[in-house]
Amino acid sequence: MRKYLSFALAAVTAVGISGWGALGANAATTYTAAQVAQHNTASDCWLIISGQVYDVTNFIPIHPGGNAIVPYCGTDATAIFDSIHGSTGTAANLLPTYLIGSLATALTAPSNLTGTPAQTSVTLNWVASTGGISPITYTVMRGGASVGTTMATTFDDTGLTASTTYAYIVQATDSATPTPSVASSSQISVTTLAGSSGGGTPTSTVALTAPSDLTGTSTQTTIVLSWVGSTGGVSPITYTIVRDGAPVGTTTATTFASTGLTASTTYTFVVKATDSATSTPNVASSSQISVTTLAGSGGGSGNENENENENENEGGSDDGGHIATSTNPTGGNGGHEHGDDGHGNGGGQTGGSGSDDGGHTSGSGSSSGGHGTRSDD
């Protein structure tokens, strides 16, 4: 073998290497041992020598030893080459002529896989694989099923459920053909958070507190409730107002007006806080209070009557007496006033009369005449 290779390399030196020089232009390409093994015939012969890949197919026909090289096609021939030629000398100097690329090292698995959880997502990070044939593609496996691929070393897994544990593996695949190399990371488990506020950032994982200091301020038909808001839980918090055991409204504020009530009636109230935890919302209720609406409003023990007719008569009473007036552009009988001790009549458009404790006043006026009279009872 030594004689054959030495002779061949000397011959190449003497006659030149026209037709082989173009192979050196591909020296930046990387090949796996599996790829080299596919070129294992005299008509397609690749060799691995000291981590480099050489295509010696065109050398075999001029090799003085004929097919002596063929048994080494598709293999790592470093040992046999070094045993005959060593790492220096004519043969070593001529090897770059046949260089087509370098031998890829074994593909390593992604390492240091970590996961940062939010309420509905997990952000994964890892250290990139080495070796293999570039580029490397990473497949993210959740619970044994693929959820996405990337060429980066980070991945956001979204659409998850809060307070749930997920198992992850990242699988690296190189670009070797026809059989890519595959290497998988170790498995990790990540549990999503119980709650979040805007953008998936957790706000609280402590227990939801009940609304406190519930008070009610009443009118005749309305009770306005106020309370101190709940803390903890998962925001936002919604408050349900329960009146006499039945819900009557919800709010995210800490005040609520319960309307349409009956005067002089007592109502009971409880305010129930509910957080926004997605799996099972937390609930906390305030203490119960009772609030009575007011009796009503209005002055005195008398009554008021109002009646309008074609003659525009108007009458009313207040505190033991009443006043009646009328207007008529043509005069006629006016209104009248009765006091406790006396009464008077007034007629016409401007006529009127009144009495107070036995006294009396009368007057009359009319656009066309009228009269006023008084009498003591």
Q: Please name the CATH architecture into which domain 2-103 falls.
A: Roll (3.10)
pTM for the model: 0.43
- Site of tokens 């997990």: 122
Q: Which of 61-65, 195-199, 206-210, 315-319 has the lowest mean pLDDT?
A: 315-319
Q: What confidence score (pLDDT) does residue 347 get?
A: 38
- Which tokens go with 226? 């106020």
> Could you tell me the residue ranges of all domains in the chain?
2-103, 111-191, 212-292, 313-376
Answer whether residue 315 shows pLDDT above 50.
Answer: no
Answer whether residue 136 shows pLDDT above 60.
Answer: yes
Could you tell me which residues come within 8 angstroms of residue 309 by beta carbon, excluding any fewer than 6 positions away? none
What percent of the chain stands above pLDDT 90? 42
Answer whether residue 314 shows pLDDT above 90.
Answer: no
Banded model confidence at residue 299, pLDDT cuts 50, 70, 90: very low
Banded model confidence at residue 236, pLDDT cuts 50, 70, 90: confident
Domain 111-191: which topology? Immunoglobulin-like (2.60.40)
Q: Higher model confidence: residue 296 or residue 329?
A: 296
Using DSSP, state whether 161 is helix, strand or coil.
coil
Answer whether residue 40 shows pLDDT above 90.
Answer: yes
- Which tokens go with 301? 């023990």
Measured in degrees and rounded to the nearest 5, phi and psi for residue 105 equal: -80, 170
Q: May I ask the CATH class of domain 212-292?
A: mainly beta
Answer whether residue 244 shows pLDDT above 90.
Answer: yes
Q: What confidence score (pLDDT) does residue 91 get?
A: 67
Answer whether residue 317 shows pLDDT above 80.
Answer: no
Banded model confidence at residue 373, pLDDT cuts 50, 70, 90: very low
Q: What confidence score (pLDDT) does residue 38 get?
A: 92
Burial of 137 (0-12, 13-18, 19+ CB in 10 A): middle
Answer whether residue 11 shows pLDDT above 60.
Answer: no
Q: Higher model confidence: residue 341 or residue 270?
A: 270
Strands 44-49 and 75-76, sheet pairing: parallel
Q: What confidence score (pLDDT) does residue 27 get?
A: 54
Q: Higher model confidence: residue 258 or residue 60?
A: 258
Q: Which of 241-250, 260-269, 352-361 has the lowest mean pLDDT?
A: 352-361
pLDDT (average), residues 137-147: 95
Q: What confidence score (pLDDT) does residue 376 get?
A: 43
- Site of tokens 């309008």: 308
Q: What confidence score (pLDDT) does residue 132 get?
A: 86
Domains 111-191 and 212-292 share a fold: yes
Banded model confidence at residue 354, pLDDT cuts 50, 70, 90: very low
Closest CA to 170 of 183, 161, 156: 183
Instruction: Give one DSSP letter per residue of 302-330, joined into a string.
Output: S-------TT-EEEEEETTEEEEEE--TT
Q: What confidence score (pLDDT) does residue 345 get?
A: 40
Q: What confidence score (pLDDT) does residue 195 get?
A: 62
Q: Mean pLDDT across the chain, nearest whole number?
A: 74
Q: What confidence score (pLDDT) does residue 205 get?
A: 56
- Site of tokens 């699988």: 171
Burial of 198 (0-12, 13-18, 19+ CB in 10 A): exposed
pLDDT digits (tens, 9 = 90+) for 74-133: 999 888 888 877 766 666 777 788 899 888 888 999 999 999 998 889 999 999 999 888
Q: What confidence score (pLDDT) does residue 16 get?
A: 37
Answer whether residue 263 shows pLDDT above 50.
Answer: yes
Q: Higher model confidence: residue 360 or residue 29?
A: 29
The top-scoring range by mean pLDDT among 5-14, 113-122, 201-210 is 113-122
